A and B are shown apart, each in its own frame.
Chain A
């Protein structure tokens, strides 16, 4: 009995490790740097340890579930850890720790840090909640909390541009949340339940109207697609890059866009059931939408001179790989999509860290100013290079593994056209990353950088340099050690065996 209690408490503890420090931090005066840092780091480390326990438990067949009745009649808030949650929770726990270090370095001496770290922790809490949600309404609760807690981060700088970006962000996400809400209520009305179960609850309904089910699917995907930045709902993302670099990193790699993509995975796999969704005829259009987004995002990225904007459009494109993997309907493609959830996070967070370093250390924001920057900041740019090559899909880096499985899976499912999309997208990726790399390493540096800050003999502060190096190493490791146990790839395979009938 005691064991069961501990098990059900574990999920709440994992949430609390970021929620409680966040709430405390709100009330800390600005100058209490030491306490704030301790709380931040302590929470992040404890969360990581607890997630380790969770992984161990899930592998050993423990059931983790916590319920809180929300309304009479069986509507509960459910926290539940299955293999998919674990994948996303681990990603967010690891990247939160890294990003916290980075953010502490990045924001040193700036204003409103208590407010920033408070919302930062809330944002992570919401992400973890999204990962652990056991049914649609719990998902919705944390999904909306995510919207609310990221808004202050996006407008953190308080400039007119930031306010505009925040306003656009809210316009998109609140409308998206409303669609999701309608879809969820309607689903509840039709299906009577929306617990996430392998192969879906909707698949078990015999007498439901298929048109209604399709309509609900469209509502849900539209609501989630806003955060996943599916074209044409992506407009907020490139604007949101006015946020401070750690926020962009978190937004693009873990929190917001991933919550949307993860939600789509949940809806297709665990609410509708991928095979039932295919029989409903909704996965085909979803795959086409994802493919369009992939190509469109890459095309737009080609023409951006601002580095963060280029990365933002790259995110638009890359996140849709996850959606594509799920929508292609086939076990191997699903593995590719799920593993990309992790791989894209690792690569993109590295890129944003590096972009932040360039801006913070040298005042470089635009690609046209990056000539020869590799000589001034070799370590940062080495990390950048690894991540960029990974994005292009160069073996043996993480991005290659994703694309390999996506392509293989598409062929396996008989959807050959996807391979052309992947090839074309890789070419475009190369088209917008390779010129940057070339300029970085091979062109002559300018006489002076726009706004250089000196850090003595090091190229930049260690708190800014260590995080991208760590994540870049992870990018290499995720690719090289893809077939080792506990790699993201193996975990994605483990999940997929549960979603498809043997």
Chain B
């Protein structure tokens, strides 16, 4: 039995299972909710299996169909992929549970296949070992995300979805051009092979520029963030949650992989530029979030700001800084999903998300408000949350490298975040005069938000373990951009 567990190709199952789930949900729409939930649980189980395998046996490489690297498709699972997969599994399970209460039957039928398909694409992306597969999965991910945004219906959602589609296509097209250039130069798309053969040439620089630009557009780094707030805010709540928590991080993940493993080192100036853009995103996103009058838009702008933090690791470039940024990414995913879910509960309960009128709603949903506040603590980076650990590591790296101005940005970003989070939380304590006609919020939706938010906070107390995971087959030790 144990041998069977040991030798299971968990990495392949992680992709096949949600795909099968999506098909089954599509074929039996009446049962889509229980089937979808079952699929989500199955994915979590597979990721656990993969985790066990990677921890026990080190990084895993699967050759799908028995064909090796240059010809066939390789899947590769190291600590970085694993951590991202685990985070996706946790958030994905949360979103699945939340969605089972959220959607009407009519929308649920469409939602479940699309969502599980998106999950498939995301898992495949995280396991891809070559840059062309990364392109394919990125495209699949983008298309299913667009379809999910359009799910809300209505003119706003369709416009946002259209814009999201065009931006996404533009981004992946840039990326694909870069892939073509690299393939032309080195005759391979495998990340490991490319890393070996990498040498500088104008074509390589063009590829680096194109791929980075495409991915930055998809990650919504300032000033390429314009598409994100409308798309994230107009989608149905579970979709907003999965876009902000999972989809944007996919393109960041690719960028990180390329930057650390493929792209030629010595791009110090580029690192500083990315850091600068990240810093601007932190401040701009924060200020914009503060100015919003709608809760969902506020949260969406907060995502713009939080994405900015991740790019502060590029100029610092130490392994500590990378890990810090990844830890921020991890806790942001959980916290942001929880925040959107909390917003969704408020929206469901009171029928609106105008921040100024929240007092009448917020007090009657204590669990949801607790979820929002806890998620806010992590996003602000207050201890002992996961966000705090990430921020601490980045701060430490900034002082270590003597680049204290990044520390200043981190602190100012934190203050801005505190300002917009408390702008919302403050309403929970004001006296409410008017009572709303409230609709019921299922307990499952409230608890999912709370548990995810709590996980984001508790992540701060268990940092050594995930950070140790990152060291398995870690790309950071050798290839970090010093």
Which residues from chain A sit less than 8 Å from chain B, CB to CB?
68-72, 77, 115, 137, 140-141, 144-145, 148, 151-152, 155-156, 158-160, 162-163, 166-167, 170, 174-175, 177-178, 181-182, 185-186, 188-189
Contacts and interface: CB of A to CB of B under 8 A. Distances in A.
A71 B397 CA distance: 14
A178 B396 CA distance: 14
B415 A174 contact: yes
Contacts of B383: 137, 140-141, 144-145
B395 A181 contact: yes
B414 interface: yes
Interface in B337-387: 366, 377, 382-384
A188 B398 CA distance: 12
Contacts of A141: 383-384
A264 to B, nearest CB: 20
Nearest to A156: B429
Contacts of B415: 174-175, 178
Contact of B418 (A72, A160, A170): A170
A71 B463 contact: yes
Identify the 7 closest CB pairs spanning chains A and B, nearest first.
A189-B399, A141-B383, A158-B431, A155-B429, A185-B395, A174-B418, A178-B411
Contacts of B277: none
Given A144-B382, A175-B415, A177-B382, A166 B396 contact: no
Contacts of A70: 384, 389, 460-461, 463-464
Nearest to A142: B383
A163 B426 contact: yes
Contact of B396 (A160, A170, A175, A188): A188
Nearest to A177: B382
A357 to B, nearest CB: 25
A182 B392 CA distance: 9
B270 interface: no
Interface residues of B, number: 28
Contacts of A175: 415
Nearest to B376: A148
Given A177-B382, A182-B411, 20 more contacts: A68-B461, A70-B460, A70-B461, A70-B463, A71-B463, A71-B467, A72-B467, A140-B383, A155-B430, A159-B431, A163-B430, A167-B426, A174-B415, A174-B418, A175-B415, A178-B411, A182-B395, A182-B407, A185-B396, A189-B400
Contacts of A182: 395, 407, 411
Contacts of B422: 151, 167, 170
A451 B418 CA distance: 40
Nearest to A147: B382
A71 B426 contact: no
A166 B392 CA distance: 27
B393 interface: yes
B396 A189 contact: yes
Contacts of B414: 178
Interface in B428-482: 429-431, 460-461, 463-464, 467-468
Contacts of A185: 392, 395-396, 399, 407
Interface of B: 366, 377, 382-384, 389, 392-393, 395-396, 399-400, 407, 411, 414-415, 418, 422, 426, 429-431, 460-461, 463-464, 467-468
A141 B377 CA distance: 12
A269 B434 CA distance: 54
Nearest to B426: A163
A181 B415 CA distance: 12
Nearest to B381: A181
Contacts of A158: 429-431
Given A141-B384, A145-B383, A182-B411, A155 B426 contact: yes
Most chain A CB inside 10 Å of its own CB: which residue of B392, B429, B430, B461: B429
Most chain B CB inside 10 Å of its own CB: which residue of A71, A72, A77, A140: A71
5 contacts: A70-B384, A71-B393, A144-B382, A175-B415, A182-B395
Nearest to A158: B431
B415 to A, nearest CB: 6
Contacts of B382: 144, 148, 177
Contacts of B389: 70-71
Nearest to B377: A148
Contacts of A137: 383, 392
Contact of B411 (A68, A69, A151, A181): A181
B429 A152 contact: yes
A177 B381 CA distance: 11
A69 B431 contact: no
Most chain A CB inside 10 Å of its own CB: which residue of B384, B396, B400, B426: B384
B434 to A, nearest CB: 14
Contacts of B377: 148
Contacts of B384: 70, 77, 141, 145
Most chain B CB inside 10 Å of its own CB: which residue of A141, A156, A181: A181
A186 B399 contact: yes
Contacts of A170: 418, 422
Contacts of A151: 422
Nearest to B373: A148
Nearest to B392: A185
Nearest to A179: B411
A166 B411 contact: no
B399 to A, nearest CB: 4
A473 to B, nearest CB: 36
Contacts of B429: 152, 155-156, 158, 162-163, 166
A186 B399 CA distance: 6
A182 B414 CA distance: 12
Nearest to A143: B383
A144 B429 CA distance: 20
A72 B411 contact: no
Nearest to A178: B411
Nearest to A171: B419
A188 B392 CA distance: 11
Nearest to A174: B418
A186 B468 CA distance: 24
B464 A71 contact: yes
Contacts of A181: 392, 395, 411
Nearest to A170: B422
B152 to A, nearest CB: 34
A121 to B, nearest CB: 15
A343 B399 CA distance: 40
Nearest to A68: B461
A186 B408 CA distance: 12
Nearest to B407: A182
A140 B468 CA distance: 25
B392 A71 contact: yes
B405 to A, nearest CB: 12
Nearest to B324: A71
